A and B are shown apart, each in its own frame.
Chain A
């Protein structure tokens, strides 16, 4: 577990954060611009000095009322928002900087990271000769090569254009899947959060207003993310079979099976599906002659008005939570209330990774 209680006054802003997050997987720190996300990350790194905070990572106490571990003593990897490679060193020099100051970094490990981020061909280049995406990959590699206990990333994609973002996302997915260490990832992009997060820490105005597993956070009706046209839910599923004739795949999840277009992922792959609330409709009886393939029995968990004419409904399909956006009129016609049994029809689902 990573436990943190920090209250710090920065230039024009008070950060008052009190939370616990898991010490594995990807935790996304999410919130609007100016909510204190970067400041919080810097606090975790020890880049903002506070006197009376508490920070514990696993068994190590990095900060308490008497002690403050300096940044260079905390084993962290930090990827800054604007690329920050050392200009006076080439790529190899940048990578070596951290390695030299860590103990026992094995050659095989170095190799694996270089391969993971695909930068072997860049080693002799000067930093001025790299593209934005390449710089970011080098920065990530540099942070990982020191075998940190935790990887902190501050909006690593925000300075890149769409093309470069698409380029790097697979590498971030790979990090997510291949690394043992926790990753704390700051972003204000719901897409990035949906794609990468296992756990979400929601910030607003310097305060933590919610934390929890990603789908819980996305579907909590008391939080802002579950409202608006972009409201979505995430479902973790596994590829179990294919229908070659129709070019479809079957994805297994606790509530049943999703059928989606085949994208050639091998059987057994874990995938994350994104289901937009607008793509889910409800019926009282199970529809038989319908073009929609993905229909699941569900129970209405909670309902909240959405604007003048709509209602956001949280459904439970076994233990999986899904959001659906329907009209007030439909809710009335279907006599919906908490506990109602219904069928959820999912018109489309996007595979995130």
Chain B
């Protein structure tokens, strides 16, 4: 039922979602930690900026990305002057777009998890001789375990579902920027409803299973901890 393009779309999608999730955990963790600890006066401004992709239509994001990354835009121009080239229509471009688009889905669960730890365990660790970084890795991270799992799963799933951003800056290059969501759209446009059903249905079931897992796991985890 699935043709070569569909399989390539599936692989590109998995690759994109995986790399995006890893990058988001790496950059999202310090951001989420800082937000959970700081009393910075304009914290709300930062939080609002990070939360933008939650409500902005993805095409808005994609549109602005296209403008800035394109050779007529500031970043594109800059890259070209360095001898590089525009990252529109490249996998890298999609990664950049996905990272921005899925950022709040990773930062927010992490931030909530870190906040719910409270200051006390960190103070205890300090009195036992642990320096800042030590405390973070040996106390904060283990205690925020459920936050990390939720963040990873949500970031991954959200990127898999991405359409609007990819539509604007992807260019639908098979094996490079052709992702699952676009493949489904194309099947519908081309009146290949059978294949559209297979892909869309599969994606729906997979997403549901993933989310179910996250919710069950989180319930279990908080039950364990609340005695």
Contact = CB atoms under 8 A, between A and B. Distances in A.
A72 B124 contact: no
Q: How large is the interface on A (under 10, 10 to 19, 20 to 34, 35 or more residues)?
A: 20 to 34
Interface in A191-221: none
B72 interface: no
Interface in B96-141: 120-121, 123-131, 134-135, 138-139
B128 A98 contact: yes
A146 B120 contact: no
Interface residues of B, number: 21
A109 B125 CA distance: 21
Contacts of B123: 47, 71, 78, 80, 84
Contact of B128 (A46, A70, A88, A101): A101
Nearest to A142: B128
B67 interface: no
B130 A101 contact: yes
Contacts of A88: 139, 142-143, 145
Nearest to B227: A128
B227 A78 contact: no
B142 A146 contact: no
Chain B binding surface SS class? helix
Given A86-B139, A97-B138, A128-B227, A47 B126 contact: yes
Nearest to B125: A97
Contact of B130 (A46, A47, A72): A72
Given A87-B225, A128-B227, A80 B128 contact: no
Given A97-B138, A128-B227, A86 B127 contact: no
Nearest to A103: B129
Contact of B127 (A82, A128, A143): A143
Nearest to A45: B127
B124 A80 contact: yes
Interface in A33-89: 45-47, 70-72, 75-78, 80, 82, 84, 86-88
A143 B123 CA distance: 13
B124 A71 contact: no
Given A80-B120, A84-B124, A97-B125, A72 B131 contact: yes
A322 to B, nearest CB: 40
Contacts of A77: 127
A101 B128 CA distance: 7
Given A86-B139, A88-B142, A101 B129 contact: yes
Given A72-B131, A72-B135, A78-B123, 4 more contacts: A86-B121, A86-B139, A88-B143, A143-B127
Interface of B: 120-121, 123-131, 134-135, 138-139, 142-143, 145, 224-225, 227
Interface of A: 45-47, 70-72, 75-78, 80, 82, 84, 86-88, 97-98, 101-102, 128, 142-143, 146
The 5 A-B pairs of least Cβ separation, nearest first, read A101-B129, A98-B128, A78-B127, A71-B126, A88-B142
